[in-house]
Structure 1
Amino acid sequence: MAVKASSADNRTRSTVSLCIVIGMCCFFYILGAWQKSGFGKGDSIALEITKRTDCTILPNLSFDTHLAKQARPRDLVSPAKKFKPCPDRYTDYTPCQDQNRAMKFPRENMNYRERHCPPQKEKLHCLIPPPKGYVAPFPWPKSRDYVPFANCPYKSLTVEKAIQNWVQFEGNVFRFPGGGTQFPQGADKYIDQLASVVPIANGTVRTALDTGCGVASWGAYLLKRNVLAMSFAPRDSHEAQVQFALERGVPAVIGVLGTIKLPYPSRAFDMAHCSRCLIPWGANGGIYMMEVDRVLRPGGYWVLSGPPINWKVNYKGWQRTKKDLEAEQNKIEEIADLLCWEKVKEIGEMAIWRKRLNTESCPSRQDESSVQMCDSTNADDVWYKKMKPCVTPIPDVNDPSEVAGGAIKPFPSRLNAVPPRIANGLIPGVSSQAYQKDIKMWKKHVKAYSSVNKYLLTGRYRNIMDMNAGFGGFAAAIESPKSWVMNVVPTISKMSTLGAIYERGLIGIYHDWCEAFSTYPRTYDLIHASGLFTLYKNKCNMEDILLEMDRVLRPEGAVIMRDDVDILTKVNRLALGMKWNTRLVDHEDGPMVREKVLYAVKQYWVGGNQTAAAAA
């Protein structure tokens, strides 16, 4: 009897289970039909996002050059407006270093060579025309030695610097033999001499600052030794020197040591360099050496070559008196002692100092009253801030052997190691775990980017800019000798992350995108902007930012922008009026994510029409 009862119970349970399954199937069928009708909330959200993204825009976007055979894709979105070319006289226009505007400012302490940007009413609202005959630069490393004449048609340096081997004009190209004022025999031999003292080969020195760089041959030849140099020089009588540097594929910006602090964080560079850079290091109470000290990492090196070093031998060739040169060198030595720099060696016309690891190992700092310390609580707050004759404090240590601010691993180990500023809690709200998560996120983003733009990791794009760099995750994810990234940290960012970027062995700069960047037109091959337009929403005009991007982007250069779908929809309509081809793509996690990615390619076109649109 017990067996029969058990069998009956089993049949009853099976019947109930079957009914439940059938009931659930019916329920989900009805639910699906209801959602498909358009009344389901989840479906309506997805439908709305799909409408807004319109991810069919230019589905066949090509990143090939204009020489490749291709059918031009059909524009499915109309531009908000069409921007006309500027007159040809603006071909090399640098808004914040405009020569005519510069002459209205004092010449004292190079003030007139600093940034002086046009007011809103004077900004151009047209496209800067490439010169007639413009061609794509040579690929790296050939670009280090050759630049097409049409891209930078200025021969003055071939005459002015002929005996110094800076640049030579040959046929339709400029050739750069690698010479310089202090190294007419070539930068390689000069760097070999430097490397006999400074630990360049083992990755200890990764980031360098070249003040008054000329055509940046020092930085160009350091690249093969895995050293990234941030080179700067003013836009002055030495026409196009920074433009030449960038055409060669070497990091450089227009800049000068004048009255304003350099746009770099404190404790950023492993080495700073001046090769006859004409900066009066002993003047103004040593203010220029103090600014170098601010950006130089504890344990970093300062290299000075040229006058007044070794003046006893060279004073006749420099056409200066012994007394004058001796006084200049004595003043430099005095300021170096004040800064706690140890003179490591003097080789010929080159002198090398090393900044001490901390103040505990600095005898002259035991009596703080002898040193004027800066009172700023934030040594990285530098945008348009005046330099002062004071010494920037460095973090305290518990032991004389410690490195102030934290020791940094040699490159490339430091690239993905936790930067000391994060490990020590100097960036509020950012933990080591959050940093590691950021690394993984950007590797994922770059993988998605390269599936759309197949040239991203090939070396096609040599000069790359990240307009809102964060912790440098994008640059780290694509790091390669084939390219370099200018990591820009906007001055309005909630967090000052540029110091951490330098601690990763990357380079970058502070900048406010409401103003023009300190570079020549057509100097970047690829521009990346993540969250930039959200950051600057209600801060300045989206159109102005896009026109500046167009100014610095080469013809056939690429752009990758990721932002909210509503913002990118507006950006896309403006971009189409700027001779850009575009494609809007879903986030790699799917269409339900509001963040989208807009890819663009700047069309090839050149100037040559003197009756082009009015500038304003």
Structure 2
Amino acid sequence: MAKEHSGSPKLHQLESKRKRLTWILAVSGLCIVFYVMGAWQGTSPAPSSQSEVYTRVSCDGGSPEAAGGDHSSPLKSSSSPTTTSSVHLDFESHHQLVVNSSDGSQEFPPCDMSYSEYTPCQDRARGRKFDRDMLKYRERHCPSKKELLRCLIPAPPNYKAPFKWPQSRDYAWYDNIPHKELSIEKAIQNWIQVEDGMYLTEVDRVLRPGGYWILSGPPIHWKKYWRGWERTQEDLKQEQDSIEDVAKRLCWNKVIEKGDLAVWQKPINHVECVKKKQIYLTPHICKSDNADAAWYKGMETCITPLPEVSSSDEVAGGMVEKWPERAFAVPPRISSGSVPGVGAEKFREDNEVWKERVTHYKRIISPLPQGRYRNVMDMNANLGGFAAALLKYPVWVMNVVPANSNPDTLGVIYERGFIGTYHDWCEAFSTYPRTYDLIHAGGVFSIYQDRCDITYILLEMDRILRPEGTVIFRDGVEVLVKIKSITDGMRWKSNIMDHESGPFNPEKILVAVKSYWTGEAEQKQH
């Protein structure tokens, strides 16, 4: 019988298999140990589906009632304006992106009560320094950098959250209105008194082809009301004759005049208008390369040209669908290829993306569909998908397109049946303080972080947001962390959350709620 020696091949094979098995078991054991340790360190309480993140707070962090009286609406409302998961995302010490802003740790004091109605670019004191010719002193005149305020615009004492819609259509809290008497002087509207009907020419510019202009008030029905308007019959008749003449020169058609109303219609194209220009030489049709240009562009005494058509019965620029189908139908500007990089398929995909996002917002902001928010702003509206996705909710949306956007999508928003405007967020927005209940800021700060101090953008958002209003930020983590560090000094309560698609998406969501606080009658200047 043969004897196996230590150097035999069989013994070496057995030893090799034993070592391999030992190595596999060791590695597997280490993996299990590290997994258990990681799971143990990352353990947190299971998040509730709708646990509260923010509570209603007063200026000192207590309850609103403790801050001085009951300010809440008598209508039943939810206990918290915003709800979400109890898991907080912490990125504070891991991201070092430099964003153009002031010291984020600053605590911003309240401004003096004299600023309660402050609208920076429509400041009456500053406006008086400008030319009164053509009412230029009433145009936007924004403060210089050294004039910018670094304080929070106070709400009037005893300010209360507005009534829910539709009650807010008919009712408002007495303490929310700083003026005891509000009146509008309409006796002199001056539609035609500036440079050959320039005001009506501007109305023509913003009207869609086939759109209507309705005039109510002086001089319409002047034979009945001239005494109450404290103007002579001759003066009123001359004004109406002048309006009729300018309307003809603009190629408008008078549809009807009945009672206190007169209605004119803009033509659907300029085929006949070009022929009429042989009779009415003024105003002529502009020779503009970009008819959509409107941001800080002076008014002109010429007719903005409509897109060319092949026949007199064709609507210039294309027909739009009836409402509400119009909100989701492909706009004519997109179907015609007028918006670079955006086709019909991309438009439909954008609609689906925003439907998913708004569904997610409904989960994390429960009052959204309940009438708590009525006035909504989208600071970077793009194609208007956010407004379209909110169509079934009791809200209206101001769609803002950054003035330097490329492509320019404001025309698309109007073709969808929504309201909108251009704006540069390095300047103040032209609206009254506390206008908006909900503000959406998707990618805004990535656009402006290298152009201006984002602190002033956030202070402007605070000015136009009502107490207990909500803001939704969508941006990269680094930008949101910086935003949060600033808003923490503005009496806002906020939390960073995952993207609706999950934690692996680099874009995150920051939901913030402006705390309830009001100014005091004897408040000192800051």
- CA apart distance, 1:364: 4.3
- CA apart distance, 1:365: 3.6
Structure 2: segments with no counterpart, 5+ residues: 1-16, 58-63, 65-71, 73-77, 94-103
Tell me whether 1:491 sits opposite 2:516 in the alignment.
no
Aligned residues: 461
- CA apart distance, 1:387: 0.6
Distance in 1 between residues matched to 2:178 and 2:219, nearest whole Å: 35
The equivalent position to 1:345 in structure 2, one of 223, 235, 256, is 256
- CA apart distance, 1:276: 6.1
Equivalence for 1:514: 426
Amino acid at match of 1:121: K
Tell me whether 1:291 sits opposite 2:202 in the alignment.
yes
SS, match of residue 169 in structure 2: helix
Tell me whether 1:389 sits opposite 2:301 in the alignment.
yes
Contact 1:579 1:602 in 2 (8 A): yes
Relative distance call for 1:276 and 1:494 in structure 2 (3 A) is farther
Equivalence for 2:478: 566
Equivalence for 2:281: 370
Tell me whether 1:94 sits opposite 2:119 in the alignment.
yes
Contact 2:256 2:263 in 1 (8 A): yes
Relative distance call for 1:574 and 1:306 in structure 2 (3 A) is same
Relative distance call for 1:368 and 1:527 in structure 2 (3 A) is farther
Tell me whether 1:466 sits opposite 2:378 in the alignment.
yes
1:213-272 residue CA offsets vs partner (Å, 9 max, x unmatched) = x5xxxxxxxxxxxxxxxxxxxxxxx7xxxxxxxxxxxxxxxxxxxxxxxxxxxxxxxxxx
Distance in 2 between residues matched to 1:64 and 1:454, nearest whole Å: 14
Equivalence for 2:9: none
The equivalent position to 2:135 in structure 1, one of 100, 110, 130, is 110
Contact 1:63 1:556 in 2 (8 A): no
Amino acid at match of 1:556: E
Equivalence for 2:54: 62
Matches within 5 A, 1:36-435: 60-62=52-54, 66=64, 80-157=105-182, 161=183, 278-362=189-273, 364-365=275-276, 367=278, 370-371=281-282, 372-435=284-347
Distance in 2 between residues matched to 1:276 and 1:415, nearest whole Å: 38
Distance in 1 between residues matched to 2:396 and 2:521, nearest whole Å: 34
Higher relative contact order (CA 8 A, sep 6+): 2
Amino acid at match of 1:302: W
SS, match of residue 284 in structure 1: coil
Equivalence for 1:180: none
Amino acid at match of 1:566: E
- CA apart distance, 1:322: 3.6
Amino acid at match of 1:285: D
Distance in 1 between residues matched to 2:148 and 2:200, nearest whole Å: 35
Distance in 1 between residues matched to 2:235 and 2:379, nearest whole Å: 46
Contact 2:335 2:344 in 1 (8 A): yes
Distance in 1 between residues matched to 2:188 and 2:469, nearest whole Å: 33
- CA apart distance, 1:534: 0.4
Amino acid at match of 1:507: I
- CA apart distance, 1:551: 0.7
Normalising by structure 2, report the TM-score.
0.80
Contact 1:465 1:527 in 2 (8 A): yes
Relative distance call for 1:609 and 1:288 in structure 2 (3 A) is closer
SS, match of residue 146 in structure 1: coil
1:522-555 residue CA offsets vs partner (Å, 9 max, x unmatched) = 1111110000000112111110000000111111
The equivalent position to 2:497 in structure 1, one of 585, 591, 608, is 585
Distance in 2 between residues matched to 1:497 and 1:292, nearest whole Å: 21
Relative distance call for 1:317 and 1:85 in structure 2 (3 A) is closer
Equivalence for 2:365: 453
- CA apart distance, 1:359: 1.4
Contact 1:464 1:483 in 2 (8 A): yes
1:91-135 residue CA offsets vs partner (Å, 9 max, x unmatched) = 111111112111111222221111111001110001111111010
Distance in 2 between residues matched to 1:366 and 1:110, nearest whole Å: 29
Contact 2:56 2:515 in 1 (8 A): no
Larger radius of gyration: 2
Contact 2:188 2:218 in 1 (8 A): no
Distance in 2 between residues matched to 1:369 and 1:281, nearest whole Å: 17
Amino acid at match of 2:128: M
**Aligned-residue RMSD, C-alpha:** 3.3
Tell me whether 1:551 sits opposite 2:470 in the alignment.
no
Amino acid at match of 2:133: E
1:29-88 residue CA offsets vs partner (Å, 9 max, x unmatched) = 879949x79xxxxx9xxxxxx9xxxx9xxx841366856878x99998796221111122
106-115 vs 602-611, greater mean Cα deviation = 602-611
- CA apart distance, 1:329: 1.9
Relative distance call for 1:155 and 1:424 in structure 2 (3 A) is same
Amino acid at match of 1:588: E
Relative distance call for 1:276 and 1:499 in structure 2 (3 A) is farther
Structure 1: segments with no counterpart, 5+ residues: 1-18, 38-42, 44-49, 162-213, 215-237, 239-274
- CA apart distance, 1:312: 4.2
Structure richer in helix, relative to its length: 1
Relative distance call for 1:341 and 1:421 in structure 2 (3 A) is same
Structure richer in strand, relative to its length: 1
